[in-house]
């Protein structure tokens, strides 16, 4: 999802035409960096972040599968 979001972003860089420049990671990072209360933070879109308390049926099913796999591996090693 992160790559999908970044590919869909449109980044406008205000540069003069008579100056030779190259788009580098620092310029792109500035688009996502933000200063909040004097602290440098990174703005992450909500679509990229995981929910704090996911309640979807599929998520609960996935967590249950992970728990079962972990228990099965524990039994193999014991």
Number of Cβ within 10 Å of residue 31's Cβ equals 13
> Tokens for 48?
């990229």
Rounded distance between C-alpha atoms, residue 55 and residue 77, angstroms: 32
Rounded distance between C-alpha atoms, residue 49 and residue 5, angstroms: 11
> Domain range spanning residue 9?
2-77
Residue labelled with tokens 């190259």: 22
Give the tens place of pLDDT for each residue, 8-51.
777 666 666 666 667 777 766 766 666 555 556 666 555 555 65
For 72, phi then psi, to 5°, come to -65, -40
Residues 57-75 have a mean pLDDT of 88
Q: What is the pLDDT of residue 26?
A: 75
Q: What is the pLDDT of residue 68?
A: 94
């Amino acid at each position: 999802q992160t790559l999908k979001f970044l590919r869909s972003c449109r980044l406008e860089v205000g540069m003069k035409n008579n100056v030779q420049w190259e788009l580098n990671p620092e310029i792109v990072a500035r688009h996502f960096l933000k200063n909040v209360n004097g602290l440098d933070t990174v703005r992450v879109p909500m679509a990229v972040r995981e929910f704090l308390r996911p309640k979807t049926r599929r998520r609960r099913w996935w967590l249950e599968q992970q728990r079962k796999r972990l228990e099965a591996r524990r039994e193999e090693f014991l």
